Amino acid sequence: MKPIPYGRQHIDEKDIEAVVQTLKSDFLTQGPKVSQFEEKFAAYVGSKYAVAVSNATSGLHLSVLALGLKKGDRVITTPITFAASANCVRYVGGEVWFADIEPDTYLLSLESTRKLIESKPKGFFKGIIPVDFAGLPVDMEAFNVLAKKHDLWIIEDACHAPGGYFIDSGGKKQMCGNAKYADAGIFSFHPVKHIACGEGGMVTTNSEQVYNKLMMLRTHGITKNSMSENHGLWFYEMHELGFNYRLTDIQATLGITQLSKNKAGVIKRNEIASRYKKAFGGKIKFQELPEGRYNAHHLFVIEVDNRKELYDYLREQKIYAQIHYIPVHTLPYYKKIGYQHADLTHSEVYYSRCISLPMYPNLTYEEQEKVISHVIDFYYG
């Protein structure tokens, strides 16, 4: 049997055909496919606006800028995430403060965040960046209540969760990243994510002001919307120091076809998760699914003893599991600037035991059975 990765893209002939048509068109970048992708994505998650960007990291960077973050400002996030969720704050000279996770969902703890906020004077913090870790939605409504009480903005890092949702107190389905309870949502189109564009990202928002700021900063801080009649179509103005964080039409075309398959892909991911849960129930701990939430399952994470030994054993069987993630506050860069003494016990215990098993829509039944049998045999064989 061929090697089994923890995640991978699924590109079919429809994807290839669409990209080829764009390659034959007049626009490889700055053409119509980008806006089409933005419109379709906004409709899918239920946001008013969507801004396509070069990757999710650039989306995070632009979002903190659009929300006015500046040097010395403080933002709270989770240590159990990819470093980009925190790095975006550092890009503008802000300070990252970490709150602990819930030990069973692995999500940023609302109570830990509340305690951290309330331990400081009002105005000490500027924002919160919760992460829909592994595809499990954060209760954004609850975080929104907390944020409003303390005049904080929220960026929902939904990179793991397109297609996930939670049911709010009004009984309505709230898609991850729809910006109903946040100022912006962030998505990733890296190949191991649900929607693969090679690289790429999307920022969603319901704020016209944030949208306009994102659009300007995405393209060098330049606009062509001059009110003067004395200029020709060539004229442009640079209002701010922006960036080249654009997505190409080639990537956007792939994103459109990939997006059309995401609903079916998320259903398949949940079928795979259900088989894992049935096999491991009562034997091996896995991420809890709170009532009223639908996990998009970018990852399927278990907690085990002898994690390193299991990891090595699976690799010997050509099963390439992965670890998500090394807690951000323990990375050398963050240790150097003084984050190693934070009290983040649940995050550190989680990291000592976590391992992500293969999870992607075209994982076959036979491949998954191989993964399950080797995990069970390692502990109970």
Q: Do residues 271 and 228 share a domain?
A: no
Note the pLDDT of residue 319: 98
CA proximity to 67, closest of 174, 160, 185, 146: 185
Per-residue tokens: 306: 């002898």
Distance of CA 84 to the CA centre of its chain: 10
Is residue 229 pLDDT above 70, yes or no? no
Note the pLDDT of residue 381: 85
Q: What is the mean pLDDT of residues 217-234?
A: 80
Q: What is the mean pLDDT of residues 244-256?
A: 98
* Buried-exposed string 157-169: b where 16+ CB fall within 10 A, e elsewhere: bbbbbbbbbbbbe
Is residue 77 pLDDT above 70, yes or no? yes
Q: Do residues 172 and 25 share a domain?
A: yes
Is residue 341 pLDDT above 90, yes or no? no
Q: Do residues 60 and 18 share a domain?
A: yes
The conformational region for residue 48 under phi > 0 = left, psi -120 to 50 = alpha, else beta, is: alpha
pLDDT digits (tens, 9 = 90+) for 181-214: 999 999 999 999 999 999 999 999 999 999 999 9
d(CA 197, CA 246): 13
The residue among 233, 261, 289 that closes a domain is: 261
Interaxial angle between packed helices 110-118 and 140-149, expressed in degrees from 0 to 180 and rounded to the nearest 10: 10
Is residue 226 pLDDT above 70, yes or no? no
pLDDT digits (tens, 9 = 90+) for 146-179: 999 999 999 999 999 999 999 999 999 999 999 9
Q: Do residues 208 and 277 share a domain?
A: no
Contact 30, 24 (CB under 8 A): no
Note the pLDDT of residue 228: 58
Counted domains in the chain: 2
Q: Do residues 245 and 307 share a domain?
A: no
Q: What is the mean pLDDT of residues 10-30?
A: 97
Pairing of strands 127-129, 354-357: unpaired
Can you give the residue range of the structural domain that contains 301? Answer: 263-380
Q: Do residues 212 and 121 share a domain?
A: yes
Q: Do residues 157 and 184 share a domain?
A: yes
Contact 216, 240 (CB under 8 A): yes
Note the pLDDT of residue 86: 98
Between 343 and 350, the more confident residue is 350
**10 Å Cβ neighbour count for 137?**
28
Note the pLDDT of residue 65: 98
Per-residue tokens: 55: 């990757």
Q: Residue 64 belongs to a domain with what CATH number?
A: 3.40.640.10
d(CA 320, CA 315): 5
